[in-house]
Each structure stands twice: as structure tokens, then as C-alpha cells.
Amino acid sequence: MHNEHTDIATTTTQRERKALFAGSFNPFTIGHQSLVDRGLELFDKIVVAVGISATKPVTQAEIAERLEPIRQLYAGDDRVEVVSYAGLTVDAAQSHGCQFLLRGIRNAIDLEYERQLADINRRISGLETVMLLTLPELSAVSSSTVRELQRYGRDVDEFLPKSKM
């Protein structure tokens, strides 16, 4: 028996589900890594986008310093692309062919902030935001905390990703 619906399904390729995960990633922590790794279970590809603020100028060397460890971490995984961008996150997402924004939520304060951003981003771009709750054991890990510990000479290795290679 001929099934017309099956023929259509086999000849049409499904659109790739691609998300942009944006942040300053200064530095990229094990909390960020967890979100990317868990996001890869939901999306075909994730673009990790290091945002460059117009109000906080950084050098090309500083940008490379943020990008390189993330690229090394995901080297060989063609599902992860690492880029930098300036401007609106939704514009970066659209320029990389992303249909979704991926965000992490550590606490209630993050939730309210991210909900407001998601509402505005959906309104101006049509992009949906997918929010993942941070794993409980990682909820205290933040880039700013890691930078503060580094500033005072503390070892922060436990908060930074280990190379997968």
C-alpha cells in the first residue's frame, strides 16, 4: 500500500534546530559547559557567542583569550561553533541561522531578568528563548565569582572546564 504522507516525510529534510548561547564568558565556567552539554541534547547545534560590549572596550587579544579555551574544549565537535559578536544578541542569533536563544537560570533573580529579556527578544525578533535550570551543585558558580577568587590568588581550576581531549 502506498503511503503518500511517508513519501513527503522522506523527501523533506527537517530544519536543523540551532541555538545561540551568548554571554561574556569571562571566563567560561563549568556552569556554562554544563548548559552547552545539556543544550546539545535539545538542539542539533549550539553557537557559543562571546558578547563584546560597546561600553567596555576590549582588545582583540582579550577576545581571543575568551574564545580559545571554549574552542579547545569543543574541538572536534562540529555541533558547537564559537564566535564573538557585538550588538544585539538576537541579531547575532539570526546572522548565524539560530532559531533559539539558550539561557541558564541559577536563581529567582536570574529567572525574572531572563524572562523580561526573553519577552523583548521574542517581540523584536520572533526568537524563542529556552531556559535551563542550572544543576544545583553548579548554582553558585559564576564568572564574576571566579574572577574575584583569581584576583585574590585562589586556585579556580575546579570551576573551569577540563579539556575533553
Question: For residues 52, 70, 139 and 104, what is the CA-based torsion angle, rounded to 10 degrees?
Answer: 60
Any idea what DSSP says for residue 161? P
User: Out of 34, 45, 66, 143, which one is annotated catalytic?
Assistant: 143
Please enumerate in sequence order all residues whose Cβ is within 8 A of that of 29, keeping only pairs 6 or more positions apart, or say none.
141, 142, 143, 146, 159, 160, 161
Q: Within the chain, what is the greatest distance between any pair of CA atoms? A: 73
Q: How far, in Å, CA of 156 to CA of 12, rounded? A: 48
Selecting among 18, 32, 66, 103, the annotated active-site residue is 32
**With contact defined as beta carbons under 8 Å apart, do 105 and 138 qualify?**
no
Place of cell 541559577: 106
Query: Which residue in 2, 15, 56, 151 is the catalytic one?
Result: 56
Query: Is-catalytic flag, 32?
Result: yes
Residue 84 appears among annotated catalytic residues: no
Spatial separation of the C-alpha atoms in residues 147 and 52, rounded to whole Å: 17
Contact 84, 49 (CB under 8 A): yes
Could you list the active site residues?
Answer: 32, 56, 106, 143
